[in-house]
Structure 1
Amino acid sequence: MSSLIWLVLLSCSTLVISTKNSSDSNASQGKSIFILAGQSNMAGRGGLKSGMWDGYVPPECQSSPKILRLNAENKWEEARPPLHRDIDYLKACGIGPGLAFANSILKKNLSIGEIGLVPCAIGGTQISEWRRGGPLYKQLLSRAHAALQGGGIIRAILWYQGESDTRSEEDAKLYKARLTKFFTDIRSDLKLPELPVVQVALASAEGPYIEDIRKAQLGIDLPNVKCVDAKGMKIGYDGLHLSTEGEVHVGQMMADTFAQFIS
């Protein structure tokens, strides 16, 4: 879908944000905030059948008073699936990796306090649509700013995107440079130059250039950027989106990877 729909939703206010290091494990700083961004497999399509979510919530994605979600009105509420229901609202949303990630983090006893998830993913978006100054980029910054009101620390960006860029050879060739710039720009504008990024290498694609995109994702050479590989994860009925099982597994892998930044 076109990201232009967000133009009417975004403000152009200047972002002022905490420069507290994301690896500071002092729980007294408030929420540990995680930004969830990318396209549909981050938004969550697990459990979708005939365009509707089946309603099944696996044990790994159960709600908890220690896991909050920033809703579309920029208010915190207890996180329940689908996490992106009012963000990626033009498409049906189901289970994504976010709650499996958060529950796995809680079990690790990392002493990072309450978890705040900030859904920002929009299905069908290419990396060029996340460029600095674009509507999706502004939306992410705006929601990051809102998430910090009342205290908290942005701990990491969780990023799962690239399926739409597999359709074009040119987009595939430019993907690594565009993704690198996106990560660099976001860190700069958040004033968190060492902010951890956990990204996912594709398990599926919309076009023939999946290996080019995967190579770019696995080859990003930036400090504090780690990649988990979704290849081999169970795919849903449509052949493109991860199943509920696959989404849960990816969320748990992202949690294991994030924990490396804390240990």
Structure 2
Amino acid sequence: MNRPPSAALAALSLLSLTALTACGGSDPDPDPAADKPRASTSSSSLKAPSPAERLATTIVTEADTGGFKVDEPDDAYAFAKSTDEVTVVKPVCAPLAYAMNQLPLGTPEADLTRLTSGPTDAPTKLTKGVTFTYVTLASYAPGKARSSFADARKAVDACGDGFTAEANGNESPYDSVTAEQVTPTGDESLGFTSTMTFRGVRHVLHGEIVRSGDVLAVYFSVDGMAIANGRPSDARLSPTVVKAQNGKLAGGASS
């Protein structure tokens, strides 16, 4: 609108081989091949996780948020399924259009999105007062996260008087964009506020972008039911979700 388990498996494999050798006793006719290192097994066990695998272990979960509901968003309601489907009248504003529609910035190697809502003991349906915070993580080749973050900052500075995004025959006009103060975190952080008018009703949307090494986290909040029912809204990011996700990023970032 990112290996300890692999290292542990490798260590266990080596310990098992050592134990079998120690318990075998003397062998009058040892097999020469038994002394050869099993390079293929060790290298396989120590293989570094892919960008997608790192994101899967870093994305926020219900356990991290003390009961917030965390789901995969339904693509059926997506404004666009990829950035290729989005056209922005002011190209410099494209990063904001992506950020507010759960699309990754720039050209990441992998990305992952989750939709979070209030604690699980709160209503799970779209009811008045329920705000949803989207979290999109994207992993980049060295240096690419930094340049994508810079593009987002440029967009906030250049798109104060708004812009319009189009995709698949749908149009999302944003009336204004302003920078918003956020608690500094990660290597770089940026907050922004956007406004939109739908059927004559004004809505305030909030977003935040955090770079931790070669990973970008994009947060965006929207009160979908208010928009659908014609009620003014001011959808704030969930501090619990943002703090939890930034904490996980801080534990696995590489700058």
TM-score (norm 2): 0.28
TM-score (norm 1): 0.28
RCO higher in structure (CA 8 A, sep ≥6): 1
Structure (1 or 2) with the larger CA radius of gyration: 2
